[in-house]
Chain A
Amino acid sequence: MSRRLRVILVALLLVIPVVLGGCWSRREIERLAFVQAVAVDKAVEPNKIQLTVELARPSALAATSQGGGSLERAVWQVSATGYNVFDALRNFASQSSRQLFWAHNRLLVFGEDIAREGVEDVLDAFFRDPEMRGSTKVAVCKGDTGANFLQAEVPLERVPSQGVVGIVLNGVEKLSTVVDVDVALFGRALAAEGLEPIAIRAEIIDLVSEDESRGSLERGTISKAPRITGAAVFRGTKLVGWLNKAETRGFNWIKGNTQSSVIVVEKPNERDKFLSVELVRANSKLRTEVVDGKPRVIIQIEAMGNFADRENIFVNPEGIAPSVLSIERQMATVIKNEVEAVIKRAKEFGSDIFGFGEAFHRFHPKAWKQFKEDWNDKGFQELEVKVEVKTMLRRSGLIEL
C-alpha cells in the first residue's frame, strides 16, 4: 500500500466518525421549551403527583423590545401527572410541542400538602438528571399549592419565576429575613448528619387592592403576587413548620448569612419612638463544647451598623441625643432575642436546622456517637445555647446622631 493511499485512509478514518456521529443529540435552541419554574403538588388521583411547569415563550418575550404585545403573557403554564416525577415529566410530551429543557429552571415550589407528607419521593429526579441544576431555588408555598403559586406574578418582571428569585435575592441582601436555599443546599442538608433542611417560604398575596388604579399595569390578568418572607422548616423530608421574619433573621444571624438589614430599636427615653440602624456587616462564630457529657454551643455574633433613621429629630432637635452605647446595647438585645427565639422554635419543631449536630460531629466525633441516635428529639432539645453578641455603631450619615 502506497504511502499516499495510507495517508488518505487514515484521514478518512478520522473524518468518517465525525460525520457518522453527525449531529447526535443536537437540539436546535428554538425547538426547546425552557422551564422557568416547576411546582410539585399532590395530584387528584391517589398516589400520583402533579407537576406544573412554567415555560418561557421566547416570541412573547422578544415582542416587548418591538413595542407591542406587552399584554401577552411571557410564560405558559401546563400541568402533567404521573406516578413519579420522571413519569410526569414525560407526560408533558402529550401537551407540549417542544421538548422540555430544564437547565434554566430557576425555581422548584412544593405545595404545602405534599411538603407536609414528605418530598422524599419526588426529589430523586432533581438530583439525578444532569439537566437539572443545583442552583434551582427550593420553596414551599404556605397554605396553597405550588401550581397556584406559579400564577402569582411580580409586575416588574415578565417571567414570574424571575420575580420570585429576584425577591429572594433582594430579601437576602437587604433584609436578611429570607433564606436562600437551592436544590444543592437542600440535598446537602438532607444527606448530612445533624443538619435539617429548610426552604424558602413563599406566600400568595392579592395584588389588586381596594384602589384598583394604583399600580395598574394593564396586564389585566395579574391579580396575585408572590411574597417571600421567613422560612419553611423540614425535618428530614417532611415539612414541620414555618419561621416568621424575626426568627428567620435569627437563623441567619447564627449561620452568618446576614448581609444587610434594618435593626429597629426603641428610642431611649422616648416611648413609641423608634430609630433604625442599617446593618453593614455581621458575622458569627460557633463553638461547641461537651460539658459533663452534655452538649453546649456558644454562638458569638458581631454586628456593625450605621445609624440610618431616627424619629422626632426636628420636634426635639437638641433633645436628648441617644448615646451610641445605648443604641449598641439595644441592637445587641434585639439580635439576641431573635437568635433565642429561633432556637426555641427549632426545638419545638425538633429539627436542628442550624447544623449544631453537624458541628458536634465534626469537632467532637466521639461524643457525637452518643447523641446521634436521637439528636433531634433529645440531644438538640437539651442543648444549652449561649449567645454572645457584640455590636458596633459606626457612622451617622450626613447629619448628627
Chain B
Amino acid sequence: MGVIWGNLRTRMEKGLVVSLISRVWRRLRRRKKTPKPQDFAGATLSELFDFIKSQELVPDLKENEDRLKQILGDSSDLTFRHLMFGRELKVPIMVVHVDGMVGSEALMNGLIGPVLEKGLRLPEEKYGDHLNRDELFALIKQQVLLLSSVHEVAELEEVLDYLVRGHAVLLIDGVTKALACEVKGWSERNVEQPTTEVVVRGPQHAFVENRRVNTTLLRRTIASPLLWFEDFKVGAVTNTIVTIAYIKGIVDDGLVEEVRQRIKSIEIDAVFESGYIEELIEDAPYSPFPTILRTERPDKVAAGLLEGRVAIIIDGTPYVLVIPATFATFLTAAEDYYERAFTGSFIRAVRAFAFFLALTLPSTYVAITNFHQELLPTSLTLSIAAQREGVPFVAILEALFLEFSFELLREAGIRLPKAIGPTISIVGALILGEAAVSAGLVSPALVIVVAATAIASFISPIYSMSISVHLLRFPMIILAGTLGLFGVIMGLAAILIHLCAVRSFGVPYLTPLAPMILSEWKDTVVRLPLWQMDTRPKSLVKQEYIRQSPRQRPQPPKQDDN
C-alpha cells in the first residue's frame, strides 16, 4: 500500500491524483495482491506503472517479446529482429528497437552485423554444447558490438526506458539481462542561427531541441573538466531528461543543491518546454516579471555559468534556463560584451530608458491630456487638442483600444503562417493606422504614442520581459485615466515595491541596485571595459570572487630614449 502510494507520489502529478483520487483509491483497494494481469482494459495510469514495475525479464525470448508487445500495446513502430547466433549452436538472439528512432547504419554495422559475423566465425568445436549463455552475453558485450555506448540492464522497466529513448535492446535466449545499445538516429533540426536573440557580432549558433547537442555546444564553449552536468528525469509520462549545468568551484554549492531539490520535487506528468520547469521552480509565481532567464544563446549561458549561475537544459526545447536572474539580466544582451565598452554602456542606458518608456508612455499621455493639460508646452497642447477634436472616444478608451489592437496585430503576426504574415502588417499598418486616423476615430498623436511604445517595449533582448511590460501597460493606462499622474506614480511605486520584494533563488531581483552592491554596477548601470571587470558578482559567488588579475589595461610599450 505504502509502496503504491509512494510510487504515485513520485510519479504522478498531484493534480491528476486529486482528480482521480477516489477512483484510483477504490481500485487499489480492491486489488491488493497482484498487479493486474494480461488484459489492460480499464487500467489506470498508476496501475500500469505498477504493472510495468512488477515485470521482470525472463529467460524465454518469446515471453519477453510478448511482454514487450503487451506493454507497448503492440505499437506499430516497435520492431523485433530475431537472429541465430552460431552456425550450429543457433542461440536465439532478439534485437528490439523503435523504428525511426535508431540509425539503420549504426544498427547494421555496429550491432546486427558484428553479432552475426562473430556467430559464424566462432570456433564452435571449442565450445560445443557447453557455451554458457552468460558468457556469450559478456562476449557480445565486450568483444562483438562495435558501439561506443552499451548498457547492461536487468529490469524490464529499464529495457522499456531505453527502448523509447532510441536504443536498440539485445536479448539473448536464456539470459535475464539485456544490452541497451545506443544507436540513436532520428532526424532533427540542425544547429542554426538564433531567431529571437540576434546579434550583429558574436557567435551565430543557437541551442536546438536535442539536449545532447545543447550540452555539446556548452562544452565547446567551456572546454573545462569543471563544467559539470547532472541529469534528472522529470515528467511521469514524458520522462523528460532535465540537465543542470554548472561550473564546479565557481558556483555556490548551496545554489546547486537548491536547484536540485526544486527539480526533484516536481511531480508532473509532462514537460514540453523549459517554461514548465520555470513555472514550477520559480520564486515569484504571481509576479508579472520573469525571475528566471531563458535564452537560446550558448554564449549567454556560458557567461552565466562563469558568473556562478546554474543552467537548466531541458530535452526537447532550444531554450535553456539560467538561474538566478535579476532584473538587470533582462536588459542585457550578449553583444554588450562583444562591442566596445562605450557602445555597450550606451545601449544599456537606451534599454533602461526604453523599458521605462514602454511602461509609462501611453499612461502618461492619457494622464496629461485628461488631467494635467498645463504640463505640456502651449503649442503641443493645442496641437493635441486639435487632433482630438472630433474623436468620438475619451482618451483612456482610445488608448486602450489602440493598445489592444496593437496586441492583436502582434499576436496575429506571430501565429499566422509565414506566407500570410506580411499581409497582416500591411492591413494593420494601413487599416488601423492610416484609415483610423483619417476617419477621425483615433488621434494621430496617440498612434505615435502607441507606435513608439511598441518599439520601445521590444527593446528588451528577452521576449518574456517585453511581454511583462505589455501586460503592465494596461493597468497603468487605467490608473492614469482615473487618477492622473498620481495614479501613474502609484502604479510605478507598486511595481517598484514588488520588484524590491521579489527574489530569484535567494538573490534579490533588483540586485545590485537594491540591495546596493557597488562593485556590480560595473556590469549593470554601465559596462566597463573587460580589463576593469576583475571580480565576479558578489551576490552569486561565495568563494571564487576574483575573476582575473587586475591592471590589465592595454597600453603601448614605453619608448626608451637611449
- A residues whose Cβ falls under 8 Å from a Cβ of B: 18-19, 21-30, 32, 34, 36, 56, 58-59, 61-62, 101, 103-104, 106, 131, 133, 162
| Chain B residues within 8 Å of A19, by CB | 482
Stretch at the interface among B9-17, B124-132, B371-379, B547-555: B371-379
Given contacts A18-B479, A28-B394, A62-B383, contact A34 B370 (CB under 8 A): no
In the complex, besides A56-B382, A101-B374, 4 extra interface pairs with C-beta distance below 8 angstroms are A29-B369, A29-B395, A62-B387, A104-B373
* Cα separation A131 to B371 with both chains bound (whole Å): 12
What chain A residues lie within 8 Å of B487 (beta carbons)?
18
Task: Determine the chain A residues whose CB is within 8 A of the CB of B374 once the complex forms.
Answer: 101, 103-104, 131, 133
Q: Which residue of B lies closest to A14 (CB)?
A: B494
Query: Which of A22, A23, A29, A133 is the one whose CB lies under 8 Å from B381?
Result: A29
Whether A32 pairs with B482 at a CB distance below 8 angstroms is no
Contact present for B386 and A25 (CB under 8 Å): no
B481 within 8 A of A: yes
Tell whether, in the assembled complex, residue B389 and residue A34 are in contact, meaning their CB atoms are under 8 Å apart: no
Residues of B within 8 A of A133 (CB): 374
Question: Which residues of A sit under 8 angstroms from B280, Cβ to Cβ?
Answer: none
Q: Are A59 and B479 in contact (CB under 8 A)?
A: no
> Given the complex of chains A and B, what is the CA–CA distance between A72 and B367 in angstroms?
31
In the complex, chain A residues whose CB is within 8 Å of the CB of B396: 23
CB-defined A-B contacts under 8 Å, sample of 11: A18-B478, A18-B483, A19-B482, A21-B483, A26-B484, A30-B385, A34-B373, A34-B381, A61-B382, A101-B373, A101-B374
Expressed in whole angstroms, the Cα–Cα distance for A26 and B394 within the complex equals 10
Which residue on chain B has the smallest CB distance to residue A103? B374
**B381-430, CB < 8 A from A:** 381-391, 394-396
Separation of A27 and B394 alpha carbons in the complex (Å): 10
Q: Which of A30, A36, A62 has the most CB of B within 10 A?
A: A30
Are the CB atoms of A103 and B479 closer together than 8 Å? no
In-complex Cβ contact of B481 among A23, A25, A56 (8 A): A23
Distance in Å: Cβ of B133 to nearest Cβ of chain A: 63
For A101, what are the chain B residues with a Cβ–Cβ distance below 8 Å?
373-374
Whether the pair A29, B385 counts as a contact (CB closer than 8 A) is: yes
**Which applies to chain B's interface (DSSP): helix, strand, loop or mixed?**
helix
Q: Tell whether, in the assembled complex, residue B481 and residue A26 are in contact, meaning their CB atoms are under 8 Å apart.
A: yes
User: Inside 8 A of A103's CB, which chain B residues have their CB?
Assistant: 373-374
Considering only CB atoms, which chain B residue lies closest to A102 in the complex? B374
Chain B residue nearest to A165 in the complex (CB): B378
- Tell me which residues across on chain A come within 8 A of B391, comparing CB atoms: 30
> Would B481 and A29 count as touching, CB distance under 8 A?
no
Contacts known (A28-B395, A30-B389); A22 close to B482, Cβ less than 8 A: yes
Closest chain B CB from A52 CB (angstroms): 19
Chain B residues whose CB sits within 8 angstroms of the CB of A26 once the complex forms: 370-371, 394, 481-482, 484
**What are the 10 closest A-B residue pairs judged by CB atoms, nearest first?**
A103-B374, A58-B386, A62-B386, A30-B388, A58-B385, A29-B369, A104-B378, A26-B370, A22-B482, A29-B385
Residues of B in contact, count (CB < 8 Å)? 27
How far, in whole Å, are A23 and B383 apart by their CA atoms in the complex?
Answer: 23
Do A29 and B370 touch (CB < 8 A)?
yes
- B-side residues, CB < 8 A to A, are 369-371, 373-374, 378, 381-391, 394-396, 478-479, 481-484, 487
Decide yes or no: A28 and B388 within 8 Å by CB, A18-B483, A23-B481, A103-B374 being known contacts: yes
Q: Closest approach, in angstroms, between the C-beta of B296 and any C-beta of chain A?
A: 37
In the complex the two chains form, is B382's CB within 8 Å of A25's CB?
no
* Cβ A32 vs Cβ B385 within 8 A: yes
Distance between Cα atoms of A24 and B483 in the complex (Å):
7
Residues of A near B384 (CB, < 8 A) are 29
Given known A29-B395, A34-B378, A104-B378, contact A21–B386 (CB-CB < 8 A):
no
Kindly list chain A residues whose C-beta atoms are within 8 Å of the C-beta of B386.
Answer: 58-59, 61-62
Which B residue's beta carbon lies closest to that of A101? B373
* A61 to B374 alpha-carbon distance, docked (Å): 19
Q: Which residues of A lie under 8 Å from residue B378 when comparing CB positions?
A: 34, 36, 104, 106, 162
B499 to chain A, nearest CB (A): 18
Q: Which residues of B contact A22 (CB under 8 A)?
A: 482
Chain B residue at minimum C-beta to C-beta distance from A62: B386
A75 to chain B, nearest CB (A): 11
Measured CB to CB, the closest approach of chain A to B295, in angstroms, equals: 34
Name the CB-closest residue of A to B387: A62
- Please name all residues of chain A whose beta carbon is closer than 8 Å to the beta carbon of B371 when the two chains form the complex: 25-27
CA distance A58 to B387 in the complex (A): 8
Known: A28-B369, A28-B394, A34-B378. A23 touches B385 (CB 8 A): no
Smallest Cβ distance from A374 to chain B, in angstroms?
Answer: 42
Q: Evaluate contact between A29 and B482: CB separation under 8 angstroms.
A: no
Contact between A104 and B381, CB atoms less than 8 A apart: yes
In the complex the two chains form, what is the Cα distance from A299 to B98 in whole Å? 104
* B487 → A minimal CB distance (Å): 7
Give the distance to chain B from A159, nearest Cβ to Cβ, in Å. 8
Contact A34 to B382, CB < 8 A, known contacts A25-B371, A28-B388, A29-B370: yes
B25 → A minimal CB distance (Å): 27
Q: Is the CB of B370 within 8 A of A27?
A: yes
Contact A58 B382, beta carbon cutoff 8 Å: yes
Please give me the residue from chain B that is nearest to A23 by CB atom: B482
B369 partner residues in chain A, CB cutoff 8 A: 28-29
Best-surrounded residue of A19, A23, A61 (most CB of chain B within 10 A): A23
Write out the residue numbers on chain B whose beta carbons fall within 8 Å of the beta carbon of A23.
370, 396, 481-482
Measured between beta carbons, the chain B residues less than 8 angstroms from A162 are 378
A21 to B384, CA, bound (A): 26
> Which chain A residues border B484 with CB–CB below 8 Å?
26
Closest Cβ–Cβ distance, residue B374 to chain A (whole Å): 3
CB-based nearest A residue for B478: A18
A61 to B385, CA, bound (A): 10
Q: What's the minimum C-beta distance from A140 to chain B, rounded to whole angstroms?
A: 23
How far apart are the CA atoms of A228 and B115 in the complex, in Å?
Answer: 109
CB distance from B371 to the nearest CB of A (A): 6
> In whole angstroms, what is the CA distance A22 to B479 when docked?
9
